[in-house]
């Protein structure tokens, strides 16, 4: 990757020009909010369509209620316990260790309880704001992405885990997170597909303000709306370097040639660290692999509500007549190969939650997917300006990328145009 020097972009025009690198849900929402503020925007991605990466088939949940980073206290022991085990919900591949060692040290350092609780609250505040922004955007644009304000049900088999989650949810009431306690009878009545396992449960928590939606459909619908509003879309365009003048970013080098800009937002997910390394920046973001399965079910087998099964570590989301199953986190480096045994593990987890699923449902009848979520070492997204003038970040949200997309994009927009932000951006800066 190269770094080129060139003359600065002329600022005599009434609009500034910003390049957004990455057309996943994070980059596309950033492009939209900048354009809505009157900024001239170019959206660049190496893929042919928006949402080709981590946004393509995620769990589909939009939740301010579950914003805990994955580096909870004790995560180090969990990683050692699951080391190399393909049937585990959290898998560390030994071959990935050399590549993630510096990131991993910071990841574990942030698992100390005080930092974990602080970062959980930061995520929750941003998630609440983000969902408000999403609702406002949806009222304005009426995008077709299966958005349903259904609430989310989390079920438990371990009383200690239920107590911990209850305490964590109560703590987040300060930022507006509401929840209800359900007993087993209520669970079976409200969600009949769980009736066969209701006797095993010790209770559940229901979060009425959470929602669901298809992240890929949202991203592509919003990208279309953004283009109609004037955003220039540059697919199949790989960023290969940076253009600087007197220490300030003033454009990028790409596979299609140089592009000038007043500022650049890097929203390219797990690829972001490699892009900024030539600039002398270290970005603590690593890929964490996730799996999902999408299947079509008869109506009688379809859950009414999105479900998080605490014991079986699986997410079940009804999306547009289909069921999206998601689970597992795998530290395996930038490996996008779909491992059939890991995908089968997600299905096995689901069968423990929904034992009445028809036997004919095998991997061959489903749409398996794997993606690399860009996870920051501290468990919160990395947002806003860097020490290099003209370069802004919107990356590292990991499993919360869909939930935090509209809020993160709004904060980054405000930092670029000099508007007063709804939340302080400083806690999210690198």
User: Who wins on pLDDT, 95 or 345?
Assistant: 345
Average pLDDT over residues 104-123: 96
Q: Where are the domains of the chain?
A: 2-54+217-283+379-428, 61-211+285-376
The pLDDT score that the predictor gives to residue 363 is: 65
Write down the pTM of the prediction.
0.94
pLDDT tens digits for 268-306?
Answer: 999 999 999 999 999 999 999 999 999 988 888 889 999
410-430 pLDDT, tens per residue? 999 999 999 999 999 999 998
The dotted CATH code for 2-54+217-283+379-428 is 3.50.50.60
pLDDT in tens, 321-377: 899 999 888 888 899 999 888 898 899 999 999 998 877 676 667 889 999 999 999
Residue 84 banded pLDDT, cuts 50, 70, 90: low
Which CATH homologous superfamily contains domain 61-211+285-376?
D-Amino Acid Oxidase, subunit A, domain 2 (3.30.9.10)
* pLDDT confidence tier of residue 112, bands split at 50, 70 and 90: very high
- Taking all residues of the chain, what is their mean pLDDT, rounded to a whole number? 92
For the chain, what is the HEC assignment?
Answer: CEEEECCCCCCCCCCCEEEEECCCHHHHHHHHHHHHCCCEEEEECCCCCCCCCCCCCCCCEECCCCCCCCCCCCHHHHHHHCCCCCCCCEEECHHHHHHHHHHHHHHHHCCCHHHHHHHHHHHHHHHHHHHHHHHHHHHHHCCCCCCECCCEEEEECCHHHHHHHHHHHHHHHHHCCCCEEECHHHHHHHCHHHHHHHHHCCEEEEECCCEECCHHHHHHHHHHHHHHCCCEEECCCCEEEEEEECCEEEEEEECCEEEECCEEEECCHHHHHHHHHCCCCCCCEEEEEEEEEEEECCHHHCCCCCEEECCCCEEEEEECCEEEEEEEEEECCCCCCCCHHHHHHHHHHHHHHCCCCCCCCCHHHCEEEEEEEEEECCCCCEEEECCCCCEEEEECEHHHHHHHHHHHHHHHHHHHHCCCCCCCCHHHCC
């Amino acid at each position: 990757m190269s770094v080129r020097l060139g003359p600065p972009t002329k600022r005599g025009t009434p609009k500034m020009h910003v390049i957004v690198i990455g057309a996943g849900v994070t980059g596309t929402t950033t492009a939209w909010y900048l354009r809505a503020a009157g900024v001239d925007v170019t959206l660049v991605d190496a893929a042919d369509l928006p949402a080709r990466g981590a946004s393509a088939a995620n769990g589909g949940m939009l939740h301010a209620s579950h914003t805990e980073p994955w580096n909870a206290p004790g995560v180090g022991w969990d990683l050692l316990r699951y080391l190399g085990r393909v049937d585990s919900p959290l898998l560390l591949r030994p071959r990935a260790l050399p590549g993630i060692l510096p990131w991993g040290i910071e990841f574990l350092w942030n698992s100390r309880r005080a930092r974990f609780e602080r970062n959980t609250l930061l995520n929750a505040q941003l998630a609440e704001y983000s969902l408000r922004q999403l609702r406002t955007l949806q009222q304005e644009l009426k995008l077709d992405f299966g958005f349903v304000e259904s609430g989310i049900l989390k079920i438990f088999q371990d009383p200690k885990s239920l107590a911990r989650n209850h305490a964590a949810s109560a703590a987040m009431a300060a930022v507006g997170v509401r929840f209800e306690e359900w007993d087993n009878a209520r669970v079976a009545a409200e969600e009949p597909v769980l009736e066969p396992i209701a006797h095993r449960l010790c209770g559940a928590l229901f979060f009425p303000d959470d929602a669901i939606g298809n992240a890929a459909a949202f991203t592509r619908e919003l990208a279309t709306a953004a283009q109609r509003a004037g955003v220039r879309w540059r697919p199949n365009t790989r960023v290969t370097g940076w253009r600087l003048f007197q220490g300030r970013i003033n454009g990028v080098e790409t596979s299609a040639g140089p592009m000038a800009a007043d500022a650049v937002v890097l929203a390219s997910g797990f690829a972001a660290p490699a892009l900024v390394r030539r600039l002398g920046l270290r970005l603590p973001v690593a890929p964490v692999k996730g799996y999902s399965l999408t299947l079509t079910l008869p109506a009688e087998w379809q859950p009414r509500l999105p479900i998080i099964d605490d014991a079986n570590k699986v997410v079940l989301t009804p999306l547009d007549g289909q069921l999206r199953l998601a689970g597992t986190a795998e530290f395996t480096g930038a490996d996008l190969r779909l491992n059939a045994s890991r995908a089968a593990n997600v299905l096995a987890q689901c069968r423990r939650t929904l034992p009445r699923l028809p036997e004919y449902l095998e991997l061959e009848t489903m749409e398996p997917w794997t993606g690399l979520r860009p996870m920051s070492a501290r468990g919160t997204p990395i947002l806003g300006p860097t020490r290099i003038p003209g370069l802004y970040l919107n990356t590292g949200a990991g499993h919360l990328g869909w939930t935090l997309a509209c809020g993160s994009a709004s904060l980054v927009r405000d930092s670029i145009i000099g508007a007063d932000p709804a939340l302080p951006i400083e806690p999210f800066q690198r």
